Every structure is written in structure tokens, then in C-alpha cells.
Amino acid sequence: MSCDLNEVLSKFDISMSAASYGNGHINDTYLVESNPKYILQKINSNVFKNPPQVMDNIEKVTNHLRKKIAEQGGDPDRETMLVIKTKDGSNYYKTEDGEYFRMYRFVDNATSYDNAENAKMFYEAARAFGRFQKLLSDFPMKELYETIPKFHDTRNRFLNLKKAIENDVCGRAAEIAEDIELALSFEDEVGVIVDGIADGSLPLRVTHNDTKLNNVLIDDITGKGLCVIDLDTVMPGSLLYDFGDALRIGASNAAEDETDLSKVTFNLEYFESFARGFLEEVGSITDRERELLAFSAMLITYECGIRFLTDYLEGDTYFKIHREKHNIDRARNQLKLACDIRSKFPQMNEIIGRIV
């Protein structure tokens, strides 16, 4: 593989070698220890069916961000990603075997964290995600491709679950009847956001769509949220997708696959920290968006839960598993968390009211 990587690196006019880096689940990532350093990634074309469209989105969005950051007196080389071109001027390299590679400038003295060490760190991540949306508020959305169709279409995810239950290809439905009953009980709520987008009551925005904490680089010196990374799923969507998805993991008191469900609860202190940071930076939002902020945390958590449940019913074909019944454990975890979030709507809405 090192010989292949060296050949790829030569296309970007890099003569140094690269070593495996990070713990990402989708793309293969390598660090080039040159001066300056670079990140090389092999794009997972099983997940992203059209890598050239992904890279077109990323280049357009980062160019827009770099211009806005510079205009505001910031440092574009640290506050957003820089796409490195190949020697022939392309934003990706395709091998003879059909593999796609890309390169970014590495951001020194900054770290991504899988879990927030404290509420202040989560607040800083929220500010970074809010600022990301604000800087892209005037970006022409019609220029963006939909890199994963229906990615946060919860109604479509619900229909996929019903098909998986009906088909029951692995004969697993009977053993998880209670889990299925709980999942199906949310049916009246699955279309709230997609219907709002469709009828215009919720505006379309340029959204990140994968707002985990580890997709923000935290400055090692200042502790500030510095740079939003992993832009593969940047496309038109709802502000509520980004707000809810960040809280799904960031404000849970347990890991996503924790099997002791008594530990799976929603942290209101972290919710308040994230909501405050996000709303301070994002700029104006509509009354309807504000009304659904708490709801979005529940809905996106539920959406992830039924994706795990669907995959379990279909034979664990999408999510990587590390033990037997891993996906049903994840599904139960997320459904429990969704229920706990829903029970805390009054406190969450009161918090939003104080912030606003």
C-alpha cells in the first residue's frame, strides 16, 4: 500500500511518505509529515457515490469561507480547510483502479475531540458550528449537489424501517418486538422537519449535516472552536439538522452503544452550553426554527436509532459492528435517549427562552 500511496502523493507534487492518521469510520486518512503538513484521504465511494460532486461542493464552500474569513480579519489557513490541488489542477486524483484521493492543508496546534471534556468545550464547538452556518448564509445553495440523497429525511428513514420489518430477511423481528413497537410509536413526529421544508415554514440553509464534536478543531492555545472539518455532507438542509445532531452525542451522558440504559440520559447543562454558543453565532433564525430546537435533538436522535434498528433487521450491512447484536444495542440506546429528551422538552424550551 505504501507504494500506491507514494504514487498518489506524487500526483499532488509531494515526495514525502504518509502514515495512517485518526480514527474516522468512513474515509481512510493519512498524515504527510512535511513542512507544511498535509492530510491525504481516500474517499469512500461506497458511501459517497459521486466523489467529484463531493469535492465540487467542498471546494466551492471552502473558497467562500476563506473569502469571508479574510474579509473579517480572520486567518483562513487556520479557520477553514484548504483544498490542495493535484499537479494538473484537479481537486482530487482518481487512480486507475477507480479510487479517489484528496488532500488538505493540515492545521497545526489544534485538536479534535471525540467527547467534550467539559461544558465550555461543547460551547466552543457550538460557536464554531453556528459561525459556519452564518458565514455560509449568503452562499448560493443551487450550486451544491446533494451528496447523500434524503440523508436527514426522517420520514424516509421511517419507511425504510417499516420495509425492513415487513421483509424481516434475517428473522430477527420477533425477538425485538418491543423495540419495534417503541420505534413505530414516533410515526406522527417523523415528518415535522421535512414537511416544514416542503411547505416553506422552515428555510433551507447550507448545513454541515454531521455535526459531531470531533468535526470541530479546538485551538490548543486558546481553547476556542477554530475550524469545522469533514465537509463531505455539506448540502442544503435545515438548521435543525445540525443543531439536533450535535446534541445527539455531545449531550448524552453515555456512549452511543452503552448497554446499561439507566446510564443513557440527556445532559441539560451541556444542552444549555451548546444552545447558547450556537445561537450566539448563527445569526437570525425564524420563530419556527426556534420552536423546534429542542424537538430537533429528539428527532435526529430517534432517526439515528431507527437507522441502527433497520440495519440490524437487514443483517448489519451498513454500520460496522464489533460484537454480536451491536446494532440493536445502539438502537435501544438511541431510542432511550430520544425518549429522555422528549421528557425534558419543558426544561429545554425554558432554557431556549432564557437564551433568546
What confidence score (pLDDT) does residue 221 get? 96
Mean pLDDT to the nearest integer, 66-92: 97
Residue 327 reports pLDDT greater than 50: yes
CATH number belonging to domain 2-108: 3.30.200.20
CA 332 to chain centre: 21
What average pLDDT score do residues 192-200 get?
97
DSSP-based three-state secondary structure for 277? helix
pLDDT score recorded for residue 1: 42
Stretch 211-227: mean pLDDT: 96
| The pLDDT value given to residue 356 | 87
CA atoms within 13 A on the CB side of 308: 24
pLDDT of residue 344: 98
**SS3 of 45, please?**
coil
- Choice among 44-53, 79-88, 210-219, 255-264 with the minimum mean pLDDT: 44-53
- Mind spelling out the 3-state secondary structure of 157-194? HHHHHHHHHHHCCCCCCHHHHHHHHHHHCCHHHCCHHH
The Cα 125–Cα 228 span in angstroms is 9
How far is residue 58 from each of residues 145, 206, 344, measured CA to CA in Å? 10, 12, 37
Residue % of the chain over a pLDDT of 90: 90
Q: Does the structure show a pLDDT above 60 at 3?
A: no
Which residue in the block uniquely carries the three cell numbers 460532486? 53
> Residues 294, 349: contact at Cβ < 8 Å?
yes
The position carrying cell 493540515 is 106
Cell 435501544: give the residue. Answer: 332
pLDDT tens-digit profile of 107-165? Answer: 999 999 999 999 999 999 999 999 999 999 999 999 999 998 999 999 999 999 999 99
Average pLDDT, the chain: 95
Q: Crossing angle, helix 154-167 and helix 192-199, to 10 degrees? A: 130
Q: How far is Cα 272 from Cα 144, in angstroms, rounded to an integer?
A: 32
Residue 17: per-residue pLDDT: 86
Domains in the chain: boundaries: 2-108, 119-355
Q: Helix and strand tally (H, E) in the chain?
A: 13, 11
Q: Does domain 119-355 bear CATH number 3.90.1200.10?
A: yes
Task: Supply the angle between the helices 119-135 and 239-250 in degrees, to the nearest 10.
Answer: 160
Q: What is the largest CA-CA distance in the chain?
A: 60
CA 169/CA 305 separation, integer angstroms: 19
Residue 98 CB partners (closer than 8 Å, separation 6+):
45
Q: Backbone phi, then psi, for 153, in 5-degree steps?
A: -85, 90
Flag whether pLDDT at 234 surpasses 60: yes
Helix (H) or strand (E) holding 196: helix 192-199
Residues whose CB is less than 8 angstroms from the CB of residue 18 and which lie 6 or more positions away in sequence, other chains included: 5, 9, 30, 31, 32, 40
What b/e string do you get for 150-188 counting C-beta neighbours within 10 Å, with b at 16 or more? ebbbbbbbbebbeebbeeeeeebbeebeebbebbeebee
Q: What percent of the chain has pLDDT over 70?
A: 98
For 238-292, how does the pLDDT look when each residue is reduced to its tens digit (9 = 90+)? 999 999 999 999 999 999 999 999 999 999 999 999 999 999 999 999 999 999 9
What's the mean pLDDT in 323-341?
97
Supply the angle between the helices 177-184 and 326-343 in degrees, to the nearest 10.
40
pLDDT of residue 25: 65
Residue 138: DSSP 8-state: T
Q: Do domains 2-108 and 119-355 have the same CATH topology?
A: no
Q: Which residue matches cell numbers 454558543? A: 277
What pLDDT shows up at residue 2? 43
